Structure 1
Amino acid sequence: MEHTEGAGPATVDAESGRSGTAASQAGEIGRQAGRGLRWSVLGNLVLKAGSFAMSLVLARLLVPEDFGVYAIALSASQFVIYINDAGIISATVQWRGRLEDMAPTATVVAISSSVALYGVFWIIAPYFAAMSGSESATGVIRVLTAVNLVYGMTAVRSAALLRRFEQDKLTKANMVGFLVTAPVSITLAANGAGAYSFACGQLCGAVVTGVLVVVFARVKVGFGLDRATAKKLLVFGLPLCASLGIEGVLLNADAVIVGDALGLTMLGYYLLAFNISSWLPGLVGTAVRYVALPGFSRLAEADRDSLSRGVQQAVPLLVSVVLPIAVLLGTLAPAVVVFLYGERWRPSAEVLTFLAIVMVVRMLTALAFDILAAMGATRSTMWLNLGWAVALVPALMAGARLGGIRGAAIAHATIGLLIALPLAALALHRAGVVLAPIAAAVARPLLGGALSAAVTAGLAQLTHGAPFVQLAVAGGTGLLVYVLVVVPQAVLRQLGGRVTELIPARSR
């Protein structure tokens, strides 16, 4: 009896101590991730604004065929970048040990992988270009995939910045790189370089960014190969690499299929719409991914319940941010395209309507991917993407041949909703993440999205023929409806009170 009474309080104290430690760790991780996210969002906002301005200039200097050639080269480059480092960046971020012990080996593996892949794609570039419908894309492919050599050489240093939540330094490096990319691309386009203007500009910017990443990371440049460390890295990284390779197919299969089935001009229209639908994933999604893997990795180290709570908070927040943008892009696609790029790009609008749905799917599945990777469930990510790809490729082929670029976009959206999202939810559930509370949390955003879509579509009909008026009136009203439905009344009253306080007394 005495032993039992003595053990009781001790056990409670120990459990309380562990709970307090886990809560403290989760809080510190949250603060670090929040700082990293703020820098990532700021950096991506500036970069996307700059990229948007550059695209407006290039859309007037180049023709749709140039965009089509670039789309083919980009599909090759994007596929390579997903498997470029053999999963070393993710393996470095979640490494459970001293970074200095594994950095030399990780550097050798990443560089070897990127050099080997570049050699392979240099050889197959003509065949890839021909398969995609344009042999003239061969040279552009070879230039653009060279960007991945830079990424391979700086992979461990980039991962070190992410691991330490030093997204501010990574953001600064990317910004300086863009300050090189934009003038080089525009100058080349103005002088008749065509699709090469994109590729050469990106390569120059990547080199500058890579140099700055190496300087900022403060990781000793060294080379070595410890077999045990290499094995541990590859056991984690290769399944993830395979999964990322399949994800690369998912993101770029439509460019190859559309180019082969419909030609470069239609592919150019498709690429423009795809780029517009990538604005938000590029801005918010990339920023989230910068902190999601290290953040969820640290939560997974703390305890599984903390990870589940983090997921239950992250998913509704992401849906709430993404959904109104998707609604506006989907319902006002013609106005967005014509207002920004001019009448000759109008065919892109019928694609954008459906790629807005793909945008939401991409952001949610990317979050699920990072959560699974943080838990070490890299095989689950591979099966998730494989199931998606097996369904998507034949659907895109059928859609492009039956319905042109609009049919391809419809196929992409349908497979995303009916296949990709359920597979992502299943993978998270099997990994032990509790998802049930998410359903109730996303009910209001979904209702707000539906009402916003109805209001926006109705007002768009009333203001037909005036793109700016459609965007201002229909888009503004639709966004207001969404906010009124989704944002709690208490928050709206608090915001209203702050706005009132900012208004000088004389003007009231």
Structure 2
Amino acid sequence: MEDGQDAVPATGVADPGGGRAGEIGRQAGRGLRWSVLGNLVMKAGSFVMSLVLARLLVPEDFGVYAIALAASQFVLYVNDAGVIAAVVQWRGRLEEIAPTATVVAIASSAALYGVFWVVAPYFAEMSGNEGATGVIRVLSATNLVYGLTAVRSAALMRRFQQDRLTLANLVGFCVNAPVTIGLAATGAGAYSFAWGQLTGAAATGVLVVVLARVRISAGLDRAVAGRLLVFGLPLCVSLGIEGVLLNADSVIVGDTLGAAPLGFYLLAFNISSWVPGLVGTAVRYVALPGFSRLAEEDRESLSRGVGRAVPLLVSVVLPIAVVLGTLAPSVVVLLYGERWAPAAEVLRFLAILMVVRMLAALAVDILAAMGETRSTVWLNLGWAVALVPALMVGARVDGIRGAAIAHAVVALLVALPLTALALHRAGVAVAPVASALVRPLLGGALAAAVTIALAHVTPDIPFVRLCVAGGAGTLAFVLFVVPRAELGRLAGQVAGQMAGRMAGPPTVGPPAVGPPTVGPPTAGPPTAGTRPVTPGPEPTEEEKR
């Protein structure tokens, strides 16, 4: 494949090694491996960075940053008028739309930045902290970078070139981290986050443009622009509503309770975003291009893909949610210290939200891949209409804990049914997916029971409680959910590797030569639906897809 060409052509001959769907699966799998490993490295660095900054800054700084991030991320979701998703999903060749898509994305991001420069003081005042105005203006400038690089980022996603996205995002983080920590150490407060993320985004943007190898050109074909906007604008509206879903709590909690409680709340939200940022972002990097290619085949192929993806995602995420929900005090105190302990009661309920967020995000990508962008609008709109008043009531009745409870209740009772309904109306077979989820859900209940029972009899030492109770609960989930044949196969592989290592290298003859056994790593920074409210890299423009 040459640079500038689509990895999977919009039309093509079936792959002799397993059909076109098989080729799509292999390319998506390669992209997913890059994404997972790249996100793992990124999250590890972000976590270390958060530990440092939690000791340099105070909760009020995190609260101011959270207000600015809420504004910036809302702009991020509508920043490119849906161009990234439209380019990834485009059925023709990239060269047909690149000049027009570039103009649309840049014009949209510049116009939105101008609007938010003007409204920044009003947004900060509405959020209960007028001092956030300058931080909002600096942080929102990252969206200008995303507009400039939108088409090139989409090209890398479309070709499943997550290795190049990984490199660009890791370089950006390596720029972001020292700038942020250095400014925090000199007393810059919340501005340290904003300037660090802006410089990191600029470094990532330069590399994306270089690595995408898409000829830089600008032009405006009205027919192409019309097709892009017909697809992209409904998705843009949907993602704007998703921005409200993710950031309304920051505004409401900050206005109702003040900056310090907001800092505790946002720390808990950040912890609950680790898995969506690591696993969810990696999945979303390949979900839209992968399901888009499957949708070109037929709806049956797409339904089979959904039937495999959803139970697998739940099986990965649910045991982590159980540990976070049942052992929240141990998690918070172990990582951040006693002064952040009030965040634990929030984390218990946001762990539930975490699972629903990831399922809804995957559903939005599936619907976008099918061209059903209007359905994504109704899904997110229904969720937002129920959430905003619930957050207001919850924050006033029970503080930050009440806001978290409101989030969890609305997610379960409103968002999940709307997600299933939207997929069903789009033609996806939902019943097989529901039946496949029974075993993971029962396994989650078993894991929760085991974890809670052991937590009551282990010493009140966070590390010990996490290892004993959390480890036992996770093991119970795996033994219940993973088929015995699969466990036996994995055990055989581990035993074989251990035996080979114990045997040592051969003493006679040359060393064996063969292909590398380690697959390519993974791409990218955090994603749509993630909010790094404590230190870490700002979500890039790809994540919102």
Shorter-chain TM-score tier: over 0.9
The aligned counterpart of 1:6 is: none
Relative to the length of structure 2, the TM-score reads 0.88
The aligned counterpart of 1:307 is: 302
* Secondary structure of the corresponding residue to residue 462 of structure 1: coil
Classify 1:433/1:21 alpha carbon distance in 2 versus 1 (closer, same or farther; 3 Å): farther
CA deviation digits over 1:160-185, x for unaligned, max 9? Answer: 00011101101110000000011110
One of 83, 88, 107 as aligned partner of 1:88: 83
Q: C-alpha distance in 2, partners of 1:107/1:195? A: 32
The aligned counterpart of 1:43 is: 38
Classify 1:93/1:357 alpha carbon distance in 2 versus 1 (closer, same or farther; 3 Å): same
Higher relative contact order (CA 8 A, sep 6+): 2
Q: C-alpha distance in 2, partners of 1:72/1:458? A: 39
One of 91, 106, 126 as aligned partner of 1:111: 106
* 1:505 to partner: Cα distance: 9.7
One-letter amino acid matched to 2:66: A
* 1:461 to partner: Cα distance: 1.8
* 1:459 to partner: Cα distance: 1.3
One of 248, 252, 255 as aligned partner of 2:250: 255
Instruction: Kindly indicate whether residue 97 of structure 2 is the aligned counterpart of residue 102 of structure 1.
Output: yes
CA contact (8 A) 2:14 2:20 kept: no
Q: C-alpha distance in 2, partners of 1:469/1:166? A: 41
Classify 1:488/1:227 alpha carbon distance in 2 versus 1 (closer, same or farther; 3 Å): same
Instruction: Kindly indicate whether residue 316 of structure 2 is the aligned counterpart of residue 289 of structure 1.
Output: no
Relative to the length of structure 1, the TM-score reads 0.95
One of 339, 343, 364 as aligned partner of 2:338: 343
Classify 1:318/1:506 alpha carbon distance in 2 versus 1 (closer, same or farther; 3 Å): closer
CA contact (8 A) 1:181 1:201 kept: yes
Q: C-alpha distance in 1, partners of 2:500/2:326? A: 41
One-letter amino acid matched to 1:361: V
Q: C-alpha distance in 2, partners of 1:20/1:202? A: 42
* 1:192 to partner: Cα distance: 0.5
One-letter amino acid matched to 1:348: A
Q: How does 1:166-177 map to 2 (within 5 A)?
A: 166-177=161-172
Classify 1:391/1:101 alpha carbon distance in 2 versus 1 (closer, same or farther; 3 Å): same
| Rg (Cα) greater in structure | 1
One of 323, 326, 330 as aligned partner of 1:331: 326
CA deviation digits over 1:337-362, x for unaligned, max 9? Answer: 00000000000000000000010000
One-letter amino acid matched to 2:450: V
CA deviation digits over 1:248-296, x for unaligned, max 9? Answer: 0000000000000000000000110000000000001001000000000
One-letter amino acid matched to 2:422: A
One-letter amino acid matched to 1:308: S
* 1:435 to partner: Cα distance: 1.2
One of 358, 376, 379 as aligned partner of 2:374: 379
Classify 1:214/1:507 alpha carbon distance in 2 versus 1 (closer, same or farther; 3 Å): closer
One of 122, 126, 132 as aligned partner of 2:121: 126
One-letter amino acid matched to 2:470: G
Q: C-alpha distance in 2, partners of 1:98/1:449? A: 44
The aligned counterpart of 1:322 is: 317
CA deviation digits over 1:42-79, x for unaligned, max 9? Answer: 11110011111100100010000000000000100110
* Secondary structure of the corresponding residue to residue 459 of structure 1: helix
* 1:495 to partner: Cα distance: 2.4
The aligned counterpart of 1:353 is: 348
The aligned counterpart of 2:269 is: 274
Unpaired runs of at least 5, structure 1:
1-17
Classify 1:229/1:475 alpha carbon distance in 2 versus 1 (closer, same or farther; 3 Å): same
Classify 1:464/1:261 alpha carbon distance in 2 versus 1 (closer, same or farther; 3 Å): farther
Q: How does 1:201-212 map to 2 (within 5 A)?
A: 201-212=196-207
One-letter amino acid matched to 1:383: W
Q: C-alpha distance in 1, partners of 2:363/2:272? A: 20
One-letter amino acid matched to 1:459: L
Q: C-alpha distance in 2, partners of 1:158/1:21? A: 30
Instruction: Kindly indicate whether residue 395 of structure 2 is the aligned counterpart of residue 409 of structure 1.
Output: no
One of 387, 393, 397 as aligned partner of 2:392: 397
* 1:99 to partner: Cα distance: 1.0
CA deviation digits over 1:139-163, x for unaligned, max 9? Answer: 0000100000000000000000001
Q: C-alpha distance in 1, partners of 2:489/2:426? A: 39
CA contact (8 A) 2:60 2:260 kept: yes
Classify 1:505/1:133 alpha carbon distance in 2 versus 1 (closer, same or farther; 3 Å): closer
One of 152, 172, 181 as aligned partner of 2:176: 181
Classify 1:221/1:394 alpha carbon distance in 2 versus 1 (closer, same or farther; 3 Å): same
Q: C-alpha distance in 1, partners of 2:26/2:495? A: 31
CA contact (8 A) 1:22 1:302 kept: no
CA deviation digits over 1:409-436, x for unaligned, max 9? Answer: 0000000011001101100000000111
Instruction: Kindly indicate whether residue 433 of structure 2 is the aligned counterpart of residue 438 of structure 1.
Output: yes
Unpaired runs of at least 5, structure 2:
1-12, 504-545
Classify 1:403/1:493 alpha carbon distance in 2 versus 1 (closer, same or farther; 3 Å): same
CA deviation digits over 1:210-262, x for unaligned, max 9? Answer: 00000011111111111111111000000000000000000000000000000
Instruction: Kindly indicate whether residue 241 of structure 2 is the aligned counterpart of residue 246 of structure 1.
Output: yes
CA contact (8 A) 2:275 2:317 kept: yes
* 1:438 to partner: Cα distance: 1.2
Residues matched between the structures, number:
492
CA contact (8 A) 1:300 1:375 kept: yes
CA contact (8 A) 1:86 1:241 kept: yes
Q: How does 1:69-84 map to 2 (within 5 A)?
A: 69-84=64-79
Classify 1:147/1:20 alpha carbon distance in 2 versus 1 (closer, same or farther; 3 Å): closer
Classify 1:453/1:101 alpha carbon distance in 2 versus 1 (closer, same or farther; 3 Å): same
The aligned counterpart of 1:491 is: 486
The aligned counterpart of 1:235 is: 230
Q: C-alpha distance in 2, partners of 1:406/1:356? A: 13
CA contact (8 A) 1:22 1:303 kept: no
* 1:98 to partner: Cα distance: 1.7
* 1:462 to partner: Cα distance: 1.7
One-letter amino acid matched to 1:165: F
